[in-house]
């Protein structure tokens, strides 16, 4: 294969992005139990695989171009634009959509962490803020951000394959966490569970969620 992908081989940039993304993730997640470390390990693998292919060696594009005959004139773009033959234009579109999802997810992730931290400081059950819409806004934000960056913006065999594994891992982690919360708050939390979904809010609530996530001056109701 003779085509060179212009952004490949930038291992310094790949390393910087891996370090920055990992710092943001561990800064706000801070795993403690073995279940949390196991789930975090899958996310860490996702981050490394994603940026290693984005700036280092684009294994997925090379593999699919060789075995599935992608249009080699479009190999300087990402996988989606190579598949549909839109080249750089398709890459820009997917990049913009992916970054919107990424930053929206990060904002939700951080705001959920702040609200939960304050509730734990006061040893109280939190049902306001982002928690009035979903029971685990941190994980919802994580899913949105990873989907935007690793599936929409720069999909690879590893990132697309690992994404459902991450969702499953955090679903199991959330169930384990809720068992502990039930022991602490009992019927109060059972009532909350019945009223509020775990990860996916009602369709009409997405706007309020993103508005609250982006409003850094309001953290309590």
The angle, 0 to 180 degrees and rounded to 10, between the axes of the packed helices 157-185 and 59-68 is 130
Alpha-helical segments (H) within the chain: 11-29, 34-51, 59-68, 79-84, 87-121, 137-147, 157-185, 187-195, 206-214
What distance lies between CA 160 and its chain's CA centroid?
12
Cα–Cα dist 200/136, whole Å: 9
The CATH number of 11-214 is which of 3.30.1540, 1.20.120, 3.30.460, 2.130.10?
A: 1.20.120
Tokens describing residue 183: 């022991």
Q: Quick check: 181 pLDDT over 90?
A: yes
Would you kindly state where each structural domain of the chain is located, as residue ranges? 11-214
Dump pLDDT digits (tens) for 133-165: 999 999 999 999 999 999 999 888 899 999 999
Q: How many CB atoms lie within 10 A of CB 116?
A: 18
Helix (H, G, I), strand (E, B) or coil at 6: coil
Q: Which of 20-24, 115-119, 193-197 has the lowest mean pLDDT?
A: 115-119
Write out the two tokens for 155. 């999909």
Q: Which residues contact 132 (CB under 8 A, 6 or more apart)?
A: 196, 221
* pLDDT score at 147: 97
Tokens of 25: 């993730």
Q: Rounded to whole angstroms, how far apart are CA atoms 80 and 153?
A: 9
Q: What is the mean pLDDT of the chain?
A: 85
What's the pLDDT tens digit per position in 75-122?
Answer: 566 777 777 777 778 888 899 999 999 999 999 999 998 998 888 888
- For residue 17, what pLDDT is reported? 93
- State residue 218's pLDDT score: 44
């Amino acid at each position: 294969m003779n085509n060179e992908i212009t952004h490949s081989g930038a291992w310094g940039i790949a390393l910087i992005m891996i370090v920055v993304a990992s710092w943001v993730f561990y800064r706000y997640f801070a795993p403690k139990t073995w279940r949390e470390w196991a789930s975090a390990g899958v996310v860490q693998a996702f981050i490394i695989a994603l940026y290693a292919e984005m700036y280092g060696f684009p294994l997925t594009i090379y593999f699919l171009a060789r075995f599935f005959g992608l249009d080699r004139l479009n190999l300087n773009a990402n996988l989606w634009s190579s598949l549909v033959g839109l080249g750089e234009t398709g890459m820009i579109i997917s990049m913009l959509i992916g970054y919107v999802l990424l930053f929206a997810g990060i904002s939700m992730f951080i705001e959920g962490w702040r609200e939960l931290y304050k509730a734990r400081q006061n040893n109280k059950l939190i049902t306001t803020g982002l928690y009035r819409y979903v029971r685990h806004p941190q994980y919802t934000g994580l899913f949105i951000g990873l989907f935007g960056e690793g599936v929409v913006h720069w999909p690879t065999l590893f990132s697309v394959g690992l994404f459902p594994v991450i969702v499953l891992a955090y679903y199991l982690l959330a169930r384990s966490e809720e068992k502990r919360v039930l022991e602490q708050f009992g019927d109060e939390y059972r009532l909350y569970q019945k009223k509020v979904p775990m990860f996916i809010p009602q369709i009409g609530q997405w706007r309020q969620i993103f508005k609250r996530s982006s409003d850094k001056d309001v953290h309590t109701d």
